[in-house]
Structure 1
Amino acid sequence: MNKNTLNIGLILLFVLAFIGFNSLYVVTEGTKGIVTRFGKVVRASDGKLEIVDPGLHFKAPFIDQVKALDVKIQTISSSADRFVTSEKKDVIIDSYVKWQILDAATYYLTTAGGNKMQAEELLRRRINNSLRSQIGRLTIHQIVSGQNSGKNTSTPEDDNVFDSTDSEVVAVASQSKRDEVMQNALKDIGASAKALGIKIVDVRIKQINLPPEVSNSIYQRMRAERDAVAKLHRSQGRKEAEAIKAHADREVVVKIAEAERQARTLRGEGDAEATRIYAQAYKQNPQLFEFLRSMDAYKKSMTSGKDVLVLKPDSEFFKFFNNANGAKATN
């Protein structure tokens, strides 16, 4: 084998490897593949688009191209939009949609070759229209507070009803207006999205706000209501405080009066007892008793040393000064 033959063999091997590499392609898990040839979709023998499942596949090299479509659940987060309620008032609602490619062939044909941005734009329009129709039939109070739309009318007998055909328990449950809006929107969009080859998994309202001008007026009204309630509570508190204070003052007066009454009673009893003792002492030795009382009077009247008494020398007060027996001095 000469050198030229070896080079030609290597070139042929390289070309075959290159052609073989371009003849193989892989569709990853969670995607579907659509093969196009010269820009046109390859169809099966029955005329339908040929959808390629995940795995390793062959294609015509150089002329076939593979378009991968993501069939996993995806999310469309719509920007907050303004809606009008039945009261002709505006609310700002932020929502999102969970969707998934159901029919890859239909999706590819209706979205200009599987253009995800176009598909999401179509879904945004439809969810917006559905929500606008739903919100237009409700009031702000029903939307924000989640007022129940129905009452549970089932009876105890109805609660025990069991449908054996589909093995499901029949129950009547109440639901909020907000849940009702989301469920109705899911039904509306789900029906129209099938025409795009799309399955709507879920529709949710993330947030409901009021426009700034409406919010400010509501906050001011709420503030005024709270201020009125606060004033009412404060006035009731002052009223109760005055009642408690008056009751306490009355209790103080009553207790002081009772204490003074008891003190007078005790003082009277003490004075009576002292008088009784004095009387008994006087009966036992009148002269000694009179002498002790006079000494006590002298002591109390001359305690400071600066007392001045204007009395006659023969006054009864000084009788014990002149005579230890208390007899008055005679001239």
Structure 2
Amino acid sequence: MRKSTLLLPLLALIIAGIMSSVIIVDERQKVLILQFGRVVSVQEEPGLAFKIPVIQEVVRYDDRILSRDIPEREVTPSDDRRLIVDAFARYQISDPVRFRQAVGAGGERAAEDRLDGIFIDEIRRVLGTVSSDDILSSDRRALMNRISQAANIKANALGIRVIDVRLKQTNLPPENLEATYLRMITEREREARDEVARGGEAALSVRSQADREAEVIVSDAQRQALIIEGEADARRNSILASVYGRDPEFFDFYRSLEAYRSALQGENSTMVLSPNSDFFTYLNSDGRE
């Protein structure tokens, strides 16, 4: 009975020791085994690992790709136009041993503080070499790649691989917004005036061209009309001459009728002439004066 009483605690201690020596490595983690603060083993593959109870301790780091919102900072581009930059980064712990040596017991929290400093320094350095128009443009991938590459070189000393740095928002400081809006309004008004002036010039040119073409068309029409009228007069004279040659008396009669029709138009036409006038030759019944 006394042996059973002693064996049970001993068995419990053995089981507890075995349990405390077994390490379950998750696929989302990297595990360091430390002995008196010194790294003695690294477990990066998922599965089971073992350590010496009490003497050795386990430190776990996240092996996934992590995201970090970088605090907003004011940057000054090459044209001295201040901007407020909001960015984020993605990174991964690539070397857990170097990571432990760099941040110590502070872990991921201490690493994030140091990463913030690296990201902010590189954002200010890279964006300070270009103009604000380049930063505000939609095509700024090259700038973000430069920031990522430079930050990755520095973060490598921490055992961290920087995957990407992205600019989420790039805004003007509040005190500069009103001045910028006024400048934009002035530029748009100037562009509008230029467009109106160019439109007026184009309209004047079109009208002038149309007037010239109209004058040419009218002149050509008048010329054609004169030619046709002349040809008609010539043909009429030719016909009259031919008729006159055939019957002079009838021709005189015809011309007199034309004269009567031209002179005696309207109901109130009045002429004061001598009855013996040649004008009335063909109004006499016998055709004589």
- With normalisation by structure 2, the TM-score equals 0.70
Question: For the structure 1 residues 271 and 135, does the alpha-carbon distance in structure 2 shift closer, same or farther, using more than 3 Å as the test?
Answer: closer
Shift, 1:319, TM fit: 2.7
Paired position in structure 2 for 1:153? none
Distance 1:206 1:120 in 2: 18
Select between 284-293 and 21-30 the one with higher mean Cα deviation.
Answer: 21-30
**Cα separation, 2, equivalents of 1:59 and 1:141:** 56
| Match in the other structure for 2:245 | 283
The partner residue of 1:210 within 157, 172, 192 is 172
5+ residue gaps, structure 2: 1-7
Q: 1:188 to 1:88 in 2, by over 3 A?
A: farther
Distance 1:79 1:296, change over 3 A: same
Please give the alpha-carbon distance, in whole angstroms, between the structure 2 residues aligned to 1:85 and 1:292: 101
Corresponding residue of 2:39 = 48
1:179–1:143: structure 2 CA closer, same or farther, 3 Å change rule?
A: farther
Report the counterpart of residue 108 of structure 2 in structure 1: 116
2:156 paired residue among 175, 180, 190: 190
**Pick aligned residue for 1:262 from 212, 224, 227:** 224
Q: Which runs of 5+ in 1 are unaligned?
A: 1-10, 36-41, 147-174
Supply the AA of the counterpart residue of 1:277: I
Question: What is the aligned-residue identity percentage?
Answer: 28
What is the CA RMSD across the aligned residues, in angstroms?
4.3
Q: What secondary structure sits across from 1:78 in the alignment?
A: strand
> Which residue of 199, 203, 215 corresponds with 2:160?
199
SS of 2:84's partner is strand
What SS does structure 2 have at the residue aligned with 1:311? Answer: coil
CA distance in 1 between partners of 2:267 and 2:79 (Å): 101
Contact 1:69 1:114 in 2 (8 A): no
SS in structure 1 of the partner of residue 39 of structure 2: coil
Map 1:1-331 to 2 at 5 A. 26-34=24-32, 43=35, 48-53=39-44, 54-57=46-49, 68-85=60-77, 89-105=81-97, 107=99, 111=103, 113=105, 115-135=107-127, 138-141=129-132, 144=135, 179-191=145-157, 193=158, 198-207=159-168, 208-299=170-261, 304-324=266-286, 326-328=287-289
How many corresponding residue pairs? 273
Q: Deviations over 1:256-310 (max 9, x none)?
A: 2333233234323322332232222122112222223334444555565554343
Greater per-residue helix proportion: 2
User: Is the contact made by 2:94 and 2:160 (CA closer than 8 Å) also made in structure 1?
Assistant: yes
Structure 1 residues 31, 114: CA separation in 2 closer, same or farther (over 3 Å shift)? farther
Provide the secondary structure at the position in 2 that maps to 1:80. Answer: strand
Which TM-score applies when normalising by structure 1?
0.63
For each residue in 1:88-147, what CA deviation from the matched residue of structure 2 results, as whole angstroms up to 9, or x when unmatched? 5422223333322234355457656564334322321332234345555x353586389x
Aligned residue type for 1:140 = S
Cα distance in 1 for partners of 2:78, 2:150 equals 17
Measured at CA, do residues 28 and 144 of structure 1 come closer, stay the same or move farther in structure 2, by a change above 3 Å?
Answer: same
Q: Could you tell me whether the CA contact under 8 Å between 1:77 and 1:97 is conserved in 2?
A: yes
User: What is the Cα deviation at residue 187 of structure 1?
Assistant: 2.0
The CA deviation at 1:55 is 0.5
Cα distance in structure 2, aligned partners of 1:177 and 1:112:
33
| Conserved 8 A contact 1:22-1:62 | no
Q: CA deviation at 1:61?
A: 9.5
Shift of the 60–248 alpha-carbon distance from structure 1 to 2, 3 Å rule, reads same
Q: Distance in 2 between matches of 1:220 and 1:31?
A: 54
